[in-house]
Chain A
Amino acid sequence: MIDWCEKCEEMMQPFLDGSLSAAEVKEAERHLETCSWCAKRYRFEERLRHYVRIATSEPMSPELKAKLAALRTPLQ
């Protein structure tokens, strides 16, 4: 007998990456509609990915920007 929550956990990353087949997406969606336990964890993962991206984004310093611009070939 299939443990659908376990299967859903395995499918979460490829589901959110959009790399599952259409049939697999349907299968996951069917389970998510009826299983709030898994649905919560999918929503959390989406939010986490977004949060990781924001938390790890560090702007470049204006000094470095100026140094890079200075590397350009001077116009003749």
Chain B
Amino acid sequence: MSESTPTAADTRRLAEEARARVRFEEEALELSDQVYRVARRFVGSREEAEDLVQQTYERAFRSWRQYTPGTNLRAWLLRILTNLNIDRGRRQQRSPQTTSLDTDAGDYLLYNTLEAQGDNVDEEQVVERLSQDSIVEALAEVPHDFRDVLVLVDIGDFAYADAAQILDIPIGTVMSRLHRGRRILKKNLADTVVT
């Protein structure tokens, strides 16, 4: 029994495939900072985010042939990450719903609250009264469904259509969750200012 000798065409095909794979891996690694930035806000701790990103890249490098060159690689990676995150059972770990879902206060609530805290409010500077920690905490308290959209669009800079594809929800749902998510975030921030 003998293995047939690879033909020149086989060798060429293998070389082309190897080059395509290298290119894919390089492009995916270039996006890792952006992927991590989103992952970090999807989950509660740095360790979880690091695990999630590592698993995402392991799976992406294994299934690289499923990626269509020329399409949005960042969205493709985030889709893997979202599926892994769901597999990890994070849907069961619901964040507290509390009063956060009360979004009737409107979009001006936070500014009105900050303005009421001091005189001569400069809208350019008033935002700096919010500490970095209070923003991180207020975002973490936004319920998952709303936070995922908020993180993808406002932090990850994804278009509505990409966020819809990544989360596998209709674009209209992306828009309504984004609208509500931003209001919940501002309500949470206003609460930190008042208490």
Bound together, the chains give a CA A45 to CA B15 distance in angstroms of: 52
**Docked-complex contact B123 and A40, CB < 8 angstroms:** yes
- Chain A residues near B86: list those with CB within 8 A: none
Interface size class of A (residues with CB under 8 A): 20 to 34
Nearest chain A residue, comparing its CB with the CB of B126 = A44
**Docked-complex contact B127 and A13, CB < 8 angstroms:** no
- Secondary structure at the B interface, as helix, strand, loop or mixed, is helix
Does B107 interact with chain A (Cβ within 8 Å)?
yes
B179 to chain A minimum Cβ distance, whole angstroms, is 6
**Known contacts A44-B127, A68-B54, A71-B58; A52/B36 CB under 8 A:** no
Does B185 interact with chain A (Cβ within 8 Å)?
yes
Name 22 interchain pairs, CB-CB below 8 A, sorted by A. Answer: A12-B108, A19-B160, A41-B107, A41-B111, A41-B123, A43-B123, A44-B111, A44-B126, A47-B124, A51-B128, A51-B135, A53-B155, A56-B136, A57-B37, A58-B37, A60-B32, A60-B37, A61-B50, A64-B32, A68-B57, A73-B22, A75-B18
**Docked-complex contact A9 and B108, CB < 8 angstroms:** yes
Interface 0/1 of B109-136, CB less than 8 Å to A: 0110000000000011011101010011
**Known contacts A13-B182, A41-B123, A52-B135; A71/B57 CB under 8 A:** yes
**Docked-complex contact B50 and A64, CB < 8 angstroms:** yes
Nearest chain B residue, comparing its CB with the CB of A45 = B107
Bound together, the chains give a CA A65 to CA B186 distance in angstroms of: 33
**Docked-complex contact B111 and A60, CB < 8 angstroms:** no
**Docked-complex contact B108 and A41, CB < 8 angstroms:** yes
Nearest chain B residue, comparing its CB with the CB of A38 = B108
**Docked-complex contact A73 and B36, CB < 8 angstroms:** no
**Known contacts A9-B106, A41-B123, A60-B36; A69/B185 CB under 8 A:** no
Residues of B within 8 A of A (CB): 18, 21-22, 25, 29, 32-33, 36-37, 40-41, 46, 50, 53-54, 57-58, 61, 106-108, 110-111, 123-124, 126-128, 130, 132, 135-136, 139, 154-155, 160, 175, 178-179, 182, 185-186
**Docked-complex contact B106 and A55, CB < 8 angstroms:** no
B107 to chain A minimum Cβ distance, whole angstroms, is 5
Greatest chain B CB density within 10 A among A49, A60, A65 is at A60
Interface 0/1 of A26-56, CB less than 8 Å to B: 0000000000000011011101110111011
**Docked-complex contact B154 and A68, CB < 8 angstroms:** no
